[in-house]
A and B are shown apart, each in its own frame.
Chain A
């Protein structure tokens, strides 16, 4: 047990066990009582099959039937008679001071993602981290989160994580590894470590960096290589071109009136994505005092950024460079030739940008060439945006450089046998490295190979040593945000599988006396701050989650006068394939995360697969339908992949999503989809010429929304800003209102509160954070591809996606659909056992333990937000995943209906606190999980009968409308209509590119 962990004195498993057992919540972790000691625990974990994965097992065996049966019957027994086997209560021996049994605790920490930090507040329930939320004091989070942060807590408990130090696949110990390593290092002293290489992902952690630098001091000839498969090389090269040095660029979307995005998915990519979403959506939430921004997007495959665009121009990625040149030329950047090409909208866009000089913003994506980035810097300079909406700082990355080049040289050195010791600290290069590097075979020539990672993956398989990495919730450390602000990573639990953090490993390798991450981190920051101020700063840093005054200063680098920009590529129509990180499993690091696998990808709503995106027209010309398998031939490298016809996709272009086709991801992620890395080469990491051939094979694709046309119904109500400002009633009065007291049943008396929700369709960017947050908060199980194919996904909150207009250039709309909590709820009338009822505060309650599963309520729900446990989806007495469960929410058994409850557990908690303090619940005191997670502030929850509440104010807006309100269901969840801020100078068909 680690006495250094403040406020969480003991984390040994026995303690966890006792806490669980003394918990007065639902006891679905009762099985843990058998866990006599950690040895048995780890054993147990090794053998236990995770529910997550067994949901995928197509035909569970007989024993499992019996287990399921037993589980259901056991549950059946509970309400029938109260006599259950005698149960133990296991109290502490010595109870930690500030722990109140049954009350959650909150700790500030930070999650590193592609090296950059997102500040978080983690919820600890009796010593188990169970929920992740954003840290309002952190610049990259502002209190919001994204899908990766929300789902990271599932990774922590993933039973497939590597659990032991292995040597050549056999279990070993960390000490054994250290002995082996120190021997290597000794011999390396002779040549100053010329043959030592350290390979990391992008690193912004000051601690880790300083550790590695110490190594480099000891071994001057050793080298440190950083590699990210989804890298910012082009950004760095671009700033090199424009400024003659490395600078990070930040954007201020809250100050931008007109935005032109060239292939930049800024709402879901980049280390500042959450903050950007917040600032961007601020300018989309139309109230009297704010004016709405206008967004132009040119991109090959529709992203959520493209879906938010007022004008979207689908075009092949390789053509976008010419747009950049054209814009630059029109904006008066010197020495740029106007490329040939017909873009009817170009002049209008440029005019718009110029009109808003100083409050406009041009941004290009990391997949665009350095030239484009250099051009964009000049353009923003010309438009006087630099210093206002576009800012530069020194690079936050500790080891900036051309990652691709350095990895290439590493591969060559390895192949030439000039590398003896390779320490891979995180990452999975064997899987992610460019195909032409053939990293694996090169690596095989290294004498001493070590891999530190969360999983025993493709890379560790080919390494002599594998060290289990500590999850960020298990280890002390630090990380910088996109703007340099440093955060202390604070663990909430001791390493479940004895993992080590990178810093711990390096420190141990150096033979330092300081071995624990806690000491290392504290020691580093003590040196930075000086002993006198240290303790106060440290306490502040750990409490607030940010280390004071570590934010980088803005820099104003001069644009080089002689920027050399390559010539425009001649317009061509040959087929090209483009690579994108997968929207949910990213570069593959989340492949074993069931929540993210089953999370519908934005727009396509696909789960469990990475189908290639292709435009309707191209599909037609190749006679392809959804699920047809094509063979892509890119420079001799072939890949078979099923296609998904994507409205708004550029013609003659195929989008391949990285991160699938894993072989050693774990039981959830293995052998899903196809591995796009296998045809991704270093010279064409983002775009490659390719030929496409129909194979005639077919592959089932599990989409959660099969029908994306609105069928002349107005589920999503829309208007243009112009029309709306002319007549604000244009949205609300689309349908004749139904008389409010049109009901056979007597009116209900008003309760103390009337809970309701407002969802702003104009700010919602469809990022899915709310969906995962809901899943984490409410113990929502995943069901696996086969069940999704049958239409049985369990998400309480879904994001409906509709397209409107021509398939090759449609508008896209997102609509988060939770339970509407109708005041005249059709579901309530038809339930024969009163399992779904109406609360005095207007909640449409679902009482699982009373439900017999007639499913009548779902039939009668016009919104179809109810979810049914067709099988035993949730785990019963199985695996670590139960440590993840939120004790405030019942785990549902097979055969019962479930649905969004407006997070009633949070409402009740607030109720009880308010009652005890003898005061009413304050507005904003109850926040639903989806609301907290939302980076766009699109979801607002509260008491609608309190005129002062935010939600009441929003419902008074003219944009407010109820879904299917003509049915007189009187939904408590209402929507604010979607507006588009179209440029009148651009002809309607213009936005089809």
Chain B
């Protein structure tokens, strides 16, 4: 859906404003980290996210003291916010890899200016996601029993359980994303090392740059390694959320037990991923005046991808309803009916509104061209995707097979604190990243300068 564009191509908006030279690009981006003073906005934002982070620490320590009982979970709704947030964050963590790897392999050069913090965002999102499966355990201190290792109990994990698959899927994803992100950083770290004026930055960036000198050999190896990693990461985009969706589709709970889950979870993940990228990119480019690098072209392409994946998700919802009717299963049918008319109906329709209806506006060129509109829509999608996970987890469980055990789920203050806290953690990391690392790839930006083709072919 994204048309192949080479920067020299006259058609299509430019990927980078004119009259930029290698050095000016480097100045522009590196200065954010090195020379420019820390802005008040940054400090304020950082302080706020620290506050939330402290909330998280508080909530978690109380959780460890008392037990998961402090949350709203009960029997039958034994999974609550923790799993909702886990799936939500993992989903958000998808755009990074997609942009970095798939678009790279597709030679979509427009990715360059956004891939760096998309990847960073991925890492942080996955880190947040990783918290929840651990915390929601009844005895978190035994989490390592899910990992196969030769123990004195002579036991292995139960490999038929999707939760064990999760450990591998998420673990791999986190590792690969990190390596990919770090490798991509190396040339820029070197740049920072060389341009840094003070001693300590020189040393720190120097260590991280691992002796990069930008020689032809370095570049060749770098390029091939980067491509290799991209190839490695590509299947993960599909695998991770597929496996996560198994957590549900393997269960026999009506509303979970469905083969549509993997594709529609992956689509949903990319959907929310891009929404989050947009949500972050728009303010950042405004604050740091990066409109020249993150151009309307980028935003519009992201909008198109959101529209496409959004439609897949909508299809997923429709198939769920269809199958409920088509299967003739009493329980499936009731679960769907209960979603639409039951005690949680308001959330279901909220989901339809925020996730399906509002994004339809993206069909219009004028909407795609309006930055505030895009920002609003991406926010709505973020909310919608969270609601989707809530609907899947809670409404399926709270009224399943036996009417005698039907119950309601109501989150406690600690549920909310942990959720807010995880957002705090996310932004805490993001702010540090913005401040101390180049949020746009200097080296790659150089490559898309009109004059740089010779180099980029090498």
Contact with A along B52-81 (1 / 0, CB 8 A): 000000000000111111001111111100
Contact check, B139 vs A853: say whether CB atoms are below 8 A apart.
Answer: yes
Q: How far apart are the CA atoms of A65 and B65 in the complex, in Å?
A: 6
The interface-forming segment of B3-11, B107-115, B308-316, B400-408 is B400-408
- Is residue A868 within 8 Å, beta carbon to beta carbon, of the partner chain? yes
Q: Which chain B residues in 152-189 approach chain A with CB under 8 Å? A: 153, 155-158, 160-164, 167
CA distance A853 to B407 in the complex (A): 20
User: For the complex, is B116 an interface residue (Cβ under 8 Å from A)?
Assistant: no
Is the C-beta of A911 less than 8 angstroms from some C-beta in chain B?
Answer: no
Q: How far is the CA of A217 from the CA of B74 in the complex (A)?
A: 63
* A79 / chain B contacts, CB cutoff of 8 Å: 153
From known contacts A834-B155, A895-B67, infer whether A817 and B160 are also in contact, taking CB-CB under 8 Å: no
| Bound form: Cα–Cα A802–B68 in Å | 31
Question: In the complex, which residues of chain B have a beta carbon less than 8 angstroms from the beta carbon of A870?
Answer: 67-69, 73-74, 138
Residue of A at shortest CB range from B167? A832
Taking a contact as CB atoms under 8 Å apart, the answer to whether A862 and B407 are in contact is no
Q: Which residues of A contact B32 (CB under 8 A)?
A: none
Interchain CB contact under 8 A, B157 and A853: no
Which of A791, A826, A967 gathers the greatest number of chain B CB atoms within 10 Å?
A791
Q: Is B264 an interface residue (CB 8 A)?
A: no
Other-chain contact of A871, B69, B161, B397 (Cβ < 8 Å): B69
Query: A863 and B250: CB pair below 8 A?
Result: no
Complex CA–CA separation, A862 to B335 (angstroms) = 14
Q: Which residues of A, 397-425, contact B by the 8 Å Cβ criterion?
A: none
Within the complex, the shortest CB–CB distance from A286 to chain B, in Å, comes to 25
Are B138 and A850 interface neighbours, CB within 8 A?
A: no
Q: Is the CB of A852 within 8 A of B138?
A: yes
Inter-chain contact B64/A856, CB cutoff 8 Å: no
Q: How far is the CB of A13 from chain B (nearest CB, A)?
A: 33
Chain A residues with CB below 8 A from B69, complex form: 787, 792, 870-871
Of the listed stretches B142-150, B285-293, B348-356, chain A binds B142-150
Q: Is the CB of B252 within 8 A of A895?
A: no
Beta-carbon contacts under 8 Å, B85-136 to A:
136
**With A833-B145, A895-B138 given, is the CB distance from A868 to B78 under 8 Å?**
yes
Q: How far does the alpha carbon of A324 sit from the alpha carbon of B251 in the complex, in Å?
A: 57
Q: How far is the CA of A854 from the CA of B75 in the complex (A)?
A: 13
Asked if B75 contacts A831 (CB within 8 A), the reply is no
Residues from chain A with Cβ under 8 Å of B74 in the complex? 790-792, 870
B137 partner, pick from A800, A830, A895, beta carbons under 8 A: A895
Determine whether B361 belongs to the interface, using a CB cutoff of 8 Å to chain A: no
Contact with A along B245-259 (1 / 0, CB 8 A): 001001111000000
Tell me whether B330 is interfacial, beta carbon within 8 Å: yes
Residues of A near B136 (CB, < 8 A) are 854-855
Q: By the criterion CB–CB under 8 Å, are B138 and A851 in contact?
A: yes
| Residues of A contacting B162 in the complex (Cβ-Cβ under 8 angstroms) | 830
Give the distance in Å from the alpha carbon of A860 to the alpha carbon of B407 in the complex: 16
**What are the residues of chain A within 8 A of B64 when measuring CB–CB?**
69
Answer yes or no: A68 CB below 8 A from chain B CBs. yes
Instruction: Tell me which residues across on chain A come within 8 A of B145, comparing CB atoms.
Output: 832-833, 850, 852
Q: Smallest distance from the beta carbon of B129 to chain A beta carbons, Å? A: 16
Who on chain B is nearest to A62 by CB? Answer: B65
A871 near B158: Cβ-Cβ < 8 Å: no
Partner of B76, one of A73, A864, A872, A893: A864
A291 within 8 A of B: no
B402 touches A68 (CB 8 A): no
Q: How many chain A residues touch the partner (CB < 8 A)?
A: 63
B85 to chain A, nearest CB (A): 16
Shortest distance between the CB of A226 and any CB in chain B (Å): 43
B141 within 8 A of A: yes
Q: Assess whether B139 is in contact with A72, with CB atoms less than 8 Å apart.
A: yes
Instruction: Answer yes or no: B271 CB below 8 A from chain A CBs.
Output: no
Q: Distance (Å) between the CB of A266 and the closest chain B CB? A: 27
For A68, A817, A862, the residue with the greatest tally of chain B CB atoms inside 10 Å of its CB is A862
A747 at the interface (CB under 8 A from B): no
- Which segment of A626-634, A709-717, A750-758, A929-937 sits at the interface? A709-717
User: Within 8 Å CB of A706, what residues of B?
Assistant: 406-407
B406→A866 contact, CB < 8 A: no
B334 within 8 A of A: yes
Among the interface residues A834, A851, A855, which one has the most CB atoms of the partner chain B within 10 A?
A855
Q: Once the chains are docked, how many angstroms separate the CA of A678 from the CA of B157?
A: 60
Contact B75 A791 (CB under 8 A): yes
Give the residues in chain B near A830, CB-CB below 8 Å. Answer: 160-163, 250-251
Known contacts A73-B141, A896-B139; A860 and B153 CB within 8 A of each other: no
B252-301 contacts to A (CB < 8 Å): 252-253
How many Å from the CB of B424 to the closest CB on chain A? 24
Provide the residues of chain B in CB contact with A66, threshold 8 Å: 65
A869 interfacial by beta-carbon distance below 8 Å: yes
CB-CB under 8 A from A964, the residues of chain B are 401-402
In the complex, what's the smallest C-beta–C-beta distance from B145 to chain A, in angstroms?
Answer: 5
From residue A15, how far is it (CB to closest CB) to chain B in Å? 37
How far does the alpha carbon of A831 sit from the alpha carbon of B78 in the complex, in Å?
A: 14
Q: Give Cα A131–Cα B251 distance, bound, in whole angstroms.
A: 39
Render A770-801 as a binary contact track against B, CB cut-off 8 A, 1 for contact. 00000000000000000100111000001011
Provide the residues of chain B in CB contact with A792, threshold 8 Å.
69, 74-75
Tell me, rounded to whole Å, the shortest Cβ–Cβ distance linking B314 to chain A: 27
Q: How far is the CA of A787 from the CA of B334 in the complex (A)?
A: 28
Q: State whether the Cβ of A707 lies closer than 8 Å to any Cβ in chain B.
A: yes
Residues of A contacting B146 with CB < 8 Å?
832-833, 852
Distance of A378 Cα from B143 Cα, bound (Å): 73
Check: A688 CB closer than 8 A to any chain B CB: no
| Contact status A832-B161, CB under 8 Å | yes
Does any Cβ of B come within 8 Å of A858's Cβ?
A: yes
Chain B residues, CB < 8 A from A787: 69
- Least CB distance, A448 to chain B, in whole angstroms: 51
Answer whether A834 and B157 are a contact pair too, CB < 8 Å, given A864-B76, A868-B138, A895-B138: yes
A705 within 8 A of B: yes
Once the chains bind, are B141 and A711 in contact (CB under 8 Å)?
A: no
Contact with B along A838-864 (1 / 0, CB 8 A): 000000000000111111101110111
Contact assessment for B138 and A853 in the assembled complex, using a CB-CB cutoff below 8 Å: yes
Please name all residues of chain A whose beta carbon is closer than 8 Å to the beta carbon of B155 when the two chains form the complex: 833-834, 850
- Please name all residues of chain B whose beta carbon is closer than 8 Å to the beta carbon of A381 when the two chains form the complex: none
Q: Is the CB of B252 within 8 A of A826?
A: yes
CA distance A343 to B356 in the complex (A): 60
Residues in B whose Cβ lies below 8 Å from that of A65: 65-66
Measured CB to CB, the closest approach of chain A to B288, in angstroms, equals 43
Tell me the bound Cα distance from A858 to B156 in angstroms. Answer: 21
Whether B153 pairs with A831 at a CB distance below 8 angstroms is no
Is B405 in contact with A864, judged by CB distance below 8 angstroms? yes
- Closest residue of chain A to B252 (Cβ to Cβ) is A826
Which residues of A are found within 8 Å of B157, using beta-carbon distances?
A: 832-834
Could you list some 19 contacts between A and B, CB below 8 A? A68-B65, A711-B334, A715-B402, A791-B77, A826-B251, A828-B158, A829-B160, A833-B157, A833-B158, A855-B138, A856-B163, A860-B252, A860-B253, A862-B401, A863-B402, A864-B75, A870-B68, A870-B73, A895-B67
Beyond known contacts A708-B403, A859-B253, A967-B401: 13 more, CB 8 A cutoff: A711-B334, A712-B330, A713-B401, A792-B75, A833-B158, A834-B157, A851-B138, A852-B145, A854-B163, A855-B79, A863-B401, A864-B75, A867-B75
5 nearest CB pairs, A to B:
A853-B138, A895-B138, A870-B69, A855-B78, A791-B74
Chain B interface residues (CB < 8 Å from chain A): 64-69, 72-79, 136-143, 145-146, 153, 155-158, 160-164, 167, 247, 250-253, 330, 334, 397, 400-407
